[in-house]
Structure 1
Amino acid sequence: MAETVTAPQPASDDESLRGFLFALSAYLLWGMLPFFMKAVAHIPASEVVAHRVVWSVPIAGVVLLLLRRTADIRRALGSPRTLAMAALTATFIAVNWGVYVWAVGAGRAVETALGYYINPLVSIALAAIFLREKLSAMQVAAVGLAALAVVVLTVDAGGLPWVSLVLAFSFATYGFLRKTLPVGPSQGFFLEVLILSIPALGYIAWVQWTGEGHFRLSVPTDTWLLLACGPVTAVPLLFFAFGAKLLRYSTIGIMQYIAPTMIFLIAVFAFKEPFGGVRAVAFALIWSALVIYTWPMLRARFRQRRPMMAGSPSE
């Protein structure tokens, strides 16, 4: 999924529209991603993630060349501190990808949707714990409802909903740490996949040498699917990075529910995953939490637009 980026104030309606279209495209592509993950479900998740990393590198590199941002990468490669920070963020996003790929293939896409719904609420909790940010009463209520949903699922299943929790905490931690990386979003993504490509290439070489790899000419369908892992991974991330630069953070915050909603609908109606009464209660708690969390952003946007509309000249 996406990086957590604080977007600058948009300069014009035209830029806002372009930013909205970029972000919407990213979220729609992420929402459709379960179909691709089902297509590669017969391939081990570790191999899929390795190919996601390796084939993302040339795409991210071309984008940097087009944007003329290669100097940033040269400076980053010469900074041990930046490399260490990028290696840490890369580790968290790799964990997130691995669990997501495995979960969809294992018929647990509903749990992945829950994880990405919980993610913004985990981000709030991390900010309160590590940055000492004071939470509003509504934010506390939202986090509390999310925690209650986890308790409901834990009691029903006899164990923690680890897929949802790992996805939520790994991505929230990734976003939290990503803000400290002193490079832009597209440069940061290139740096992360470049670092991950070293173990990924080694792993791919090993599985190919042992005969267990799926990247072979004798099975062209698998080869094309693994090659597609690059654009499937890189394109929505880059779309999101460009969109986030042109949109208000509140707009991004509201739009982030598009992808998990699509994943949820696909899991229940296309993949026919079970969705019983207890899960319905848990999701109702999460959706209530998200309404509480999102309402202040919607109210703020409405208050900003009302003076603008009142001040515009009538035709």
Structure 2
Amino acid sequence: MSKKKIKADSTIGLTLKTMVISPIALAYLVYSIFQSQIQSFDSISTSLLLIDSGIVTALQLLLFTKSAKKVSLTMLGILQYISPTISLIGGVFLYHEVLTNAHFIAFVFIWCALAVYTISSITKWRQEQMKNEINMEA
């Protein structure tokens, strides 16, 4: 079931998700500390940054779930491709990551498919608008 169809408030949904995943994350964190695999708690500033990153992530999720109910599913689906695209562009141009031929071809195919879908949706929408105008004139 999509988030768009659930009538519960997004705050409740985020709270439930957090309640489910928190014990697992906490158990892993405790395990890692005892295995000396985590050294990020050595400094207070790093610990505060880690805590703040959790707050920022939760805020972003909360805003996303609230806005997802106000946007069409088509637009929401297209918007889901923007973040990975920005990450890809940032990785290639800012961090000089290697963009293999396979990655590039997959990227092109994905955006070509999105272009075809978008053009199809716009054409269908225009046809419906023209039908509505003709029906109103008659």
**TM-score of the superposed pair, with normalisation by structure 1:** 0.36
Where does the alignment leave 5 or more consecutive residues of structure 2 unmatched?
none
**Which residue does the alignment assign to 1:189?**
14
**Which residue does the alignment assign to 2:70?**
246
Letter in 2 for 1:234: A
**Which residue does the alignment assign to 1:206?**
31
1:174-207 deviation line (CA, Å, top 9, x unaligned): xxxxx7xx85543222212211111211222222
Alignment of 1:1-315 (within 5 A): 4-6=2-4, 183-216=8-41, 218-302=42-126
- Higher-Rg member (1/2): 2
Q: Distance in 1 between matches of 2:43 and 2:121?
A: 50
TM-fit CA distance, 1:259: 1.0
1:58-106 deviation line (CA, Å, top 9, x unaligned): xxxxxxxxxxxxxxxxxxxxxxxxxxxxxxxxxxxxxxxxxxxxxxxxx
For the residue of structure 2 that corresponds to 1:5, the secondary structure is: coil
Cα–Cα, structure 1 residues 255 and 298, in superposed 2: closer, same or farther, change >3 Å? farther
TM-fit CA distance, 1:219: 1.7
Letter in 2 for 1:252: L
Q: Distance in 2 between matches of 1:304 and 1:243?
A: 26
TM-fit CA distance, 1:225: 2.8
Cα–Cα, structure 1 residues 300 and 251, in superposed 2: closer, same or farther, change >3 Å? farther
Moved over 6 A (4+): 304-308
Instruction: State, as a whole percentage, how many aligned pairs show the same letter.
Output: 27
Where does the alignment leave 5 or more consecutive residues of structure 1 unmatched?
8-178
Q: Distance in 2 between matches of 1:300 and 1:235?
A: 36
Letter in 1 for 2:118: T
| Higher RCO, Cα 8 Å, sep 6+ | 1
TM-fit CA distance, 1:304: 6.5
**TM-score of the superposed pair, with normalisation by structure 2:** 0.73
Q: Does the 8 Å contact 2:78/2:114 carry over to 1? A: no
TM-fit CA distance, 1:272: 0.8
- What is the CA RMSD across the aligned residues, in angstroms? 3.1
Q: Distance in 2 between matches of 1:303 and 1:285?
A: 27
Q: Distance in 2 between matches of 1:280 and 1:211?
A: 39
